[in-house]
Copies of this chain bind each other. A is one copy, B any other.
Amino acid sequence: MMKKFNSVLIIGLGLIGSSISRALIENNLANNLYGLDKDENVIKKCKDLNLLIQGETDLEKFDFQFDLIVICTPLSTYKDIFQSLADFVSNPTLVTDVGSTKMSTIKDFKNMKTNNNMTFIPSHPIAGLEKSGPEHGFSKLFQDRYCIVTPFEHNDEALKRISEMWKSIGMTIEIMEADKHDRVLAMTSHIPQLIAFSVVGTATELESHMRDEVIKFSAAGFRDFTRLAGSDAIMWRDVYNKNKDAVLEMLGRFSEDLSTYQKAIRNNDLEFLQNKFNQSKKIRKEIEDIGQAGSFDPTEKKN
């Protein structure tokens, strides 16, 4: 059983931030939960949902300190957030985040004004949904998922405490170098997401009569891409900006590979296609076997 946090501040109360709040409450891991968000409506929603004792749009409004701060905002906000935290924090405080890139996160932290009270353990809980906003969060979002932690300084105690927090809400911890994290996630997350946006974009630009039909008959594969493409635009914009090198590298590989399929189709090379498709099928099997496949229900949930 992990030692409870006394007072936790969650910065950014969207899908992830609000789900962390729910999970901390449900598992009795924090005495007092506070929230910071630039949007007053979001704070109001969270209060109505009983996710916070107090929520503010301005960090300065808090006249006390926190023992844990979790940053759950788009990556482009980190620099300013670290700067304001450097001014605010006056007691020893653990800081973690949930950002999808880790090199940039660490760089932003290192570039801030020195504050020896702050100990930062970067995290990336690999969990999410295409919905945005606190109303869509839920406490089980993290259950059975991995959390990659990328410590950049030696601090066993802080690492242990943050790891325990994620474990207590159902996650499995993986310690990884930040640069490796960014390359792996470019492939498993950033590229699939970009391609999903791009395929959906291509469909949008078809002649209008075709466009209507593409939407109507989307159940045949396209809808899976649109599910990803339903995700938050600002969050993703920032990911591509912050993980530019790894994304461009993986995108290059993908484009090369796609050309080989294109060529095989043009040349009626059925054997090539069948072999490639069978290889992909095996990968799917492996993901199902390790219990990371999620479950898809092809029927419609009736309201």
Interface string of A225-252 (1 = CB under 8 A from B): 1111111011011101100100110110
Interface string of A192-232 (1 = CB under 8 A from B): 11111111111111100010011111111111111111110
Q: A189-B222, A222-B189 are in contact. Are A283 and B203 (CB under 8 A)?
A: yes
Interface contact A291-B284, CB-CB below 8 Å: no
From the candidates B191, B210, B257, B287, name the one contacting A215 in the complex (CB within 8 A): B287
Interface contact B285-A295, CB-CB below 8 Å: no
CB distance from A71 to the nearest CB of B (A): 18
Interface string of A260-276 (1 = CB under 8 A from B): 01100110101001101
From the candidates B141, B185, B233, B262, name the one contacting A220 in the complex (CB within 8 A): B185
From the candidates B198, B293, B294, name the one contacting A257 in the complex (CB within 8 A): B198
Q: Which residue of B lies closest to A203 (CB)?
A: B187
Interface contact A262-B251, CB-CB below 8 Å: yes
Q: Which residue of B lies closest to A273 (CB)?
A: B237
Query: With an 8 A cutoff between CB atoms, is A127 at the interface?
Result: yes
Query: With an 8 A cutoff between CB atoms, is A23 at the interface?
Result: no
Q: A248-B266, A262-B251 are in contact. Are A296 and B296 (CB under 8 A)?
A: yes
Q: A248-B262, A280-B201, A296-B297 are in contact. Are A214 and B233 (CB under 8 A)?
A: no
Interface contact A127-B298, CB-CB below 8 Å: yes
From the candidates B146, B198, B216, B298, name the one contacting A217 in the complex (CB within 8 A): B146
Query: With an 8 A cutoff between CB atoms, is A160 at the interface?
Result: no
- Chain B residues closer than 8 Å to A184, beta-carbon distance: 210, 213-214, 217
- Chain B residues closer than 8 Å to A189, beta-carbon distance: 217, 220-222
CB distance from A238 to the nearest CB of B (A): 8
A296 to B227, CA, bound (A): 9
CB distance from A253 to the nearest CB of B (A): 5
Query: With an 8 A cutoff between CB atoms, is A281 at the interface?
Result: yes
Most chain B CB neighbours (cut-off 10 Å) among A191, A261, A280, A284: A280
Interface contact A292-B187, CB-CB below 8 Å: no
From the candidates B180, B193, B253, B277, name the one contacting A229 in the complex (CB within 8 A): B277
A291 to B218, CA, bound (A): 10
- Chain B residues closer than 8 Å to A293, beta-carbon distance: 218, 223, 226-227, 300
Interface string of A131-169 (1 = CB under 8 A from B): 000000000110111101000000000000000000000
Interface contact A188-B205, CB-CB below 8 Å: no
Q: A262-B248, A287-B226, A299-B295 are in contact. Are A221 and B198 (CB under 8 A)?
A: no
- Chain B residues closer than 8 Å to A2, beta-carbon distance: none
Q: Can you add 14 more A-B contacts, CB < 8 Å, to A198-B257, A202-B257?
A: A129-B298, A189-B220, A192-B221, A195-B199, A200-B279, A200-B284, A201-B257, A215-B286, A221-B228, A226-B280, A233-B274, A241-B268, A291-B300, A292-B300
